Structures are given as structure tokens and as C-alpha cells.
Structure 1
Amino acid sequence: MPGPSHSTHEDEGRRSIPPALVWLLAIGAGVGVANVYYIQPVVPLVRETFGIGSEPASLVPAVSQAGYALGMLLLAPLGDLIDRKRLVLAKSILLVLLLSATALAPDFSVLLAVSLAVGLLGSLGQDFVPMAAQLATAEERGRTIGLVTTGLLCGILLSRTLGGVVGDLFGWRAIYALAATMVALVGVAVWRWLPLQPATANGSYGALLLSLATLVGRYAVLRKALLTQGLLAATLGAFWSTLALMLAEPPLHLGAGAAGTFGLAGAAGAFGAPLFGRLADARGPAIAIRLGCLLVALAFVLMLASPHSIAALIAGAVLFDLGVMAALVSHQTIVTTIDPAARSRLNGLLMTAAMIGMAIGALAGGWAWSRYGWAGVCFTGAACGLVALLRSLFPPSIPFASKEYAR
């Protein structure tokens, strides 16, 4: 397993991270991850462009999520082995090229292929989280991660709003041309203002990947975090991959722009991330994780009880995005503290579990929608939230104010 190449007293003498740098990290995280989600509100437009059914069209967001999971597993760990700034710049260049190819996709099979690749490099957004953890002091780490995660989640949620509005006005291809421009601008800003971050581990890339299994086997609290966050992320996949299809059906008959607008409701929940980061710093992360699971389950019960109610949909989007965010910030605080030399790998494992959960959720949501309608989607989300809550209540316990983790 690659070993640490830096002092374990990494926080000694470190100054607080400048607010402008936190903003850059948060914006970079949001712009990077948004590319995976532009497709969700424009699924009906893609369906019309290529003359396919709803179930095949729902494969595009599912494939993007699968690519994102692979990117978190295979590419994000590189941040421990090479300079994170250089990694971000390389990914940005490749992502600009792939987004341009998506905008020009001539048929559905090509769109599926480039969507997988865009998802793979969408792991760019997550590279900013371990960067923030390394730059921040121990006392402000939870708050800083919370702020960067706010940017990340706003990118996920507002990408749907932007994708829907641009799709309605100019067609679904236009959003990918705009996305390529935004990624290029972030790359320039990273090159100009972010400091270099030397590698924190030694060894080969193969050894780095093998160490992922070692980390999972070593830390029981990590395994608990992976399963719990994966279950919560499945609710995101189920909801957002079917929302546009539900809104387009009777009695609502709403378009891609309306579906994208729901991202604003979800973004309202994302702004609670710094609050949960502070809660993790002050009281420990377990309480925030359990509260998040409960909010997710209650949100889907509300939407199940009031089908086709716009008010219930808005309230549900706020509540369950807030719940998923509460657990994510808390889990990131946990995993980035387990082993400072393995922060990119540990965060990559967490987000791989989340993206696998989201991809499975997208597939399950599409299946539930095609057979049971919106009620099936809501039941799927509520069940995932309740199972996640149950898992969070069982051992191992999550230690607070301690460097030792359950094994």
C-alpha cells in the first residue's frame, strides 16, 4: 500500500485558508461535477431528437452516473500519487474536448459513449474536496469541506436548471457547448491561482488501486459510510432521472425548463452544507447523518402522499437534497480524517459508492416509473432512506474528537 510522504503533524503552523481560495475550490467543484447532470432535464428532448422511447432515453443519465463512479474509483485516487493541481488541469483539458464531442453527437450510440466518458472525467469536481481538506486547518476542516460541498451540490442541482432552460431555448446540444466554455475558464483560474499540492503517497498506480481494497478492509467505519451514502445517493438517481418524464405527463404537461427549475429547490437544501459541517466539527458527524437519512425518507413519503402536487414536489426536493447533503458532508469529514495521506483515495471511495448508488437508483427509478408510475419512484426513494437510517444506527459507532477509527 502506498505510504505517506509527509509529516503526520500537517496542521502545525498552518494558516487559515483564504476565503477567495475557498470560493475558487467551491466553484471548481460545482462546474466540474455539473457536466454529469446536464442530461437529466433534457431527456425528453434527446428522446425526440433520436426517435427513441423513454426507457432507452433514461439510459443516458444512468451511463453518465456509471462513468462518474468509474472516474471516482480509477481517476480520483491519482490525487494522492501526483500533484492535485496538475491532475485538475489535465482533466479539464480532456473534459473540454469530450463536452464538445457530446454537443456534436450524430446518433444515440455516440451520445451514450461520450456520456460515459464525460461521466468518467466528471470526477474532476470531486478533486477539489481533498484539496480543500489538505489546505484547511483541523479546526476549520469541516466548515471548509462544507463550503466546497455546497459548491459541488449547487453544481449538481443548478446544472439541471441551466440544462433545462438552455435546452428549452436553444436545444440540448447547446448546454454542452456552454459547459465546455465554463470548464475551460475554471482550468485557467486553477492554473493561475491554486497552489501546487505535492503527492502524499509513494508507489505505483497499480499499488495505489490495490490499496483501495486495503483501506476498505481496514476501516469498518469507512465500510459503513460507503453503504449508507450509497443508499442515500440512490434516491437522487431515482428522483432526478424520472422527474422530467413525470412532469411531461398529464396532468402537468411541463417541459424541460420546468424540470430544470426544480434544481433551484434542491439547491436551497444544498446551502445547508456549511451548517452541517459546523455541526460535525462541534458535535460529531453521527447526528447529522441520521438526521439526513430521516429527512430523505420523509421527503419521499410526502411526495408519495401528494402525487402531482407541485408544492409537495418542491418541498420534497428541498428536504431530500438537504438530507443527502447533510450525510455527505458528515461522511466526507469522517473519511478525510481517517488517513491524511490517503484523502483522495478515501474521498474517491466514498463518491464511488455514492455514484454506484446513484446509477442503480437511476435504473431502479426508470424501471419503477415504467411499471408503477410516480408512486413507484417515491416508494423506492422512501425505502432507500429508511434502510440508510437503519444502517446508520448499527455499529460500528463513529468516534468523535479522536484519531482512532473502528477497525
Structure 2
Amino acid sequence: MDVTVLGTGAPAGLPRPDCPCAACATALGGDARAATAVLVDGVLLLDLMPGVAFAAARAGHSLGGVRQVLLSHPHDGPAVEVPAGLPQPVRVPDGRELTLLTGHRVRALAMDAGGTGYAVTGPGGRRLLYLPPGSAPAGLTPGAESAGVYDLVFADVMGRPDALARLRAVGAAGPTTDVVAVHLDHDVPPGAEARRRLAAAGARAVPDGTTLTVGAYEEVPDVPRRTLVLGGARSGKSVEAERRLESFPDVLYVATGGSRSGDTEWAARVAAHRERRPGSWQTAETCDLVPLLAKDGPPMLIDCLSLWLTDAMDSVGAWDDAEWASGGERALRERVRELTAAVRATRRTVVTVSNEVGSGIVPATASGRRYRDELGRLNAAFASECEQVLLVVAGQALVLRG
């Protein structure tokens, strides 16, 4: 089963007409994308786009053999002209199945935010899933997708990463599934930044006009197993860390800050973080990271190392010069070694957040300088055990390693 991706952009395309934003201004050449539409084996067209016949011709195809045109979502704005000779486009009711004379079978899937998803099985048994923009499959349960893992998934990975998480949770998307991002909009800068974010989700983007063979081996992006995200205050480091795991189910969020009785400002910060996270994530408030890293389990997000270090320095009496000199420093070094050894040995996918505090003003107190120095050492030791290290500055992630 061959699939030609005639367009990969949001319904308004990328760049959007008359949009002055930076993402649209830089969406040029291969980063410019027409509205998403997919041609399957030349006989099935999923969604329409302006100029669909010209797009097909540029990709080396004719629409003369199309036997069915299916729409996945309402088309706002000016009506899209249906080229002469094409069947009238329709949306299939949820749960309904169609069988084309060519042997292709199509099943309509319910979505949680409107629109219709389409599961297509080719004559040879290969399977693809096509999801509409801004939606995720509704009502999926383990075993519901009894036909097995999809070979190819087209999804709004940037806008609805949880759609991919739901598919992974029920076994409909696996390590060998080729996940191709479509409905790409201007919410994310195109080019290298878009590719980086997609790779973190185990997905990729392809240029308009690309033809894919369903089931053929593709180099699925490897999701880094251990990632350290550094940044200053309000740099966006926690958002970046959370974004890297949004497309995975059953994430364990480890909050090292704990609770602070009577501190309403801290409680508001914690609540804002919790509200931002997907509802399916679990939360553990602890600084005892070594046992968690030693266990098998779902991906883990640790936020953050700087608060872990504060707790560790408290426990060894690091703020008292005498205690520090008489064994506190040695005890802290041992705790850091235990932590980094656990990171080296862990089999879990781990994303960890830490503060970068060594680039600013020198602290006025000896204890502040001690903390700054120890956090720098901890960050360096932890980073040496990670496949990928990022530095977030003003919301922009710079790849230091990986």
C-alpha cells in the first residue's frame, strides 16, 4: 500500500495567509505546507485541499483513479472546489466500515473533539491510521484495536500529542510504527525546532508530495532514554521537559520540592504545574530517587535536581562549616555518586530538570556559593550519564548533546 502525502499543513496551510508571525515568516521552501490530504494507492483520497489536482500532478499522480473521497473534519472558510471527475466527498459515521472494490477496507473512528479518524487496511493487510486536526481517538481500551499495531499513523502530533499517547497505551502504536506528523501549524517554528520536538515524540515530518510505502522500514526517531533539561528561572525548562513526554502514557512525575505548610505562593506554583500536566500522569513527591530509577516502569520526569540537592545538603549539614569539613562534603559526594550510578543503570526513560545558576551574580554568602558550586558539579555529573542535554533560554531549547 503506497500513500502520497499531498499536503501536511493545518487546514489554513503553513504559512497562514496574511499571518505576520515569525513561524509563518520562516515557513519557506520545504517548510511550506499545504493543507493535509493523503492519497492511498491512487484510489482513496483522505481530505481535500485547495489545488488538490495540481498537488497530485506535482507528486506524479493523477486523481483519475480515485473511487472514494473521505473528509475527516469540517472545512471552514471558502469551499474547496472538487475537481471534475472526483466522487462527492463524504464523512463516514463513527463505527461504519466501507469496502472498496479495490480491496481496501476503511473504518471510521470516533474522536474526542469532533472530526472522524479513518483506519485503512490495504489489500495486503497493511494498516494505516489517519487522524483529523486537533483530535484524539475517543473510547479506546486495551484490546480494542485487536488487529494489532498500525504500520503507519498520520496524526496531529504537535497539536494533540496525547492522541499518540492513547494509541501507545492500547498497543495500537508501537516502536516500529512510522508516525508522521500532519496538520502542522504555526504554533511551532518550522525547520530544526519542529524536527527536534517530533523526534522527542518518536515521530517525523515529511515534505509535501512524499510517497510512503506502508510497512516498509523507516528509520523511526529514537527517543533519548535519559535527558537533562537545564535552564534559568522562568526559562521554560519545565514546559520543555513535560512536552518531551506528552505523547507517552502513564508518565510518573517526581516532584522533589514536596509541600510547604502555610506557603500559599509555593502551593500556587505547584498547582500551576499540576494543572499543566496530562491527567493520566501519576505524581510522587519525594527526593528518594535511587529506588525509583532502579525500578522498571513508565517514563519518569524528575523536577528538579536543584531541589533534590537542597534536601541532600540539608541532610548532611552542608550549611554548617564545621559539619561540612568533618564529613558533610564527603557524604554529599557519596549521595551524588549513588544518584548518577542509578541514572547510568536505569532502564526507564527519564527526563530530568535542573537549574543553571552558574552564569549570574556570585552569591553574597558562603552557603550560597557552596550551593552554587555543588549544583554545578551535580549538573555536570548527571549530564555525563544522559544521551541528550538541553539548555533552555527564553523558551528556546539549545541542544548541548544528542
In the superposition, the TM-score normalised over structure 2's length comes to 0.21
Which gives a bigger RCO, structure 1 or 2 (Cα 8 Å, sep 6+)? 1
Where is the strand percentage greater, Structure 1 or Structure 2? 2
Where is the helix percentage greater, Structure 1 or Structure 2? 1
